[in-house]
Amino acid sequence: MSKLQKKMAKKKAKEKEDRKKLLVRRDALRKKAKEEREEHRRDKRIKRLQRELDAFEHRSKEELEAMPEETLSQLEKNARILRVLEEEHEQERLKKQELNESLEAEGHVTLEDKLKTLQERTVLQQKENFGVGDSATCNFNIAPPTPKETASVEILRAPDADEEEKFLIR
């Protein structure tokens, strides 16, 4: 190697070393800010989780801060699931309440009257949708286990039904 090549190689090595030192200094300066940002994000996450969980159970901020990230993630997931289930439950409750009020408006006051009316409506709906009425039989057979589980359903018309109306679903 000539002197010029050695000098250039030495200069290149020094520049590379200087860049490494500069990166180390930058990382040291940025490390504190990065840690503060992460801590701030975690605090916001814990406050949000604490608000969500207050409806279900009370956990102190210190207790949540002591938990690992995986546990916090699972708690957040569980809180979302609980929120959705509560909304679903509320919708179902309102539907039942509306049905109950409509039955009472029709004059069905006792539980027995309401159940009888609902049963009659169900039978009428089945007749409209499927042509199946009171005297039809319905058999359910579970097929023997195969690599993919399947079930077969048999719906038979009443013995006095016309031949055209008889049908079988498999």
User: What pLDDT digit, counting tens, does each position of 15-70 carry?
Assistant: 999 999 999 988 888 888 899 999 999 889 888 888 877 766 777 778 888 888 88
Average pLDDT over residues 162-170: 49
* Residues contacting 95, CB < 8 A, separation 6+: none
Average pLDDT over residues 105-134: 84
Q: What is the DSSP string of 92-108?
A: HHHHHHHHHHHHHHTT-
Confidence of residue 3 (pLDDT cuts 50, 70, 90): confident
For residue 170, pLDDT beyond 50 = no
Q: What percent of the residues of the chain are helix, what percent strand, and what percent coil, each to the nearest 5?
A: 65, 5, 25
Query: Which amino acid, one-letter code, is at 145?
Result: P
Looking at every residue in the chain, the average pLDDT score rounds to: 80
For residue 93, pLDDT beyond 90 = yes
First to last CA, the chain: 87
The pLDDT score that the predictor gives to residue 13 is 94
Extents of the domains making up the chain: 3-105, 115-170
Please give the model's pTM, rounded to 2 decimal places. 0.47
For residue 164, pLDDT beyond 60 = no
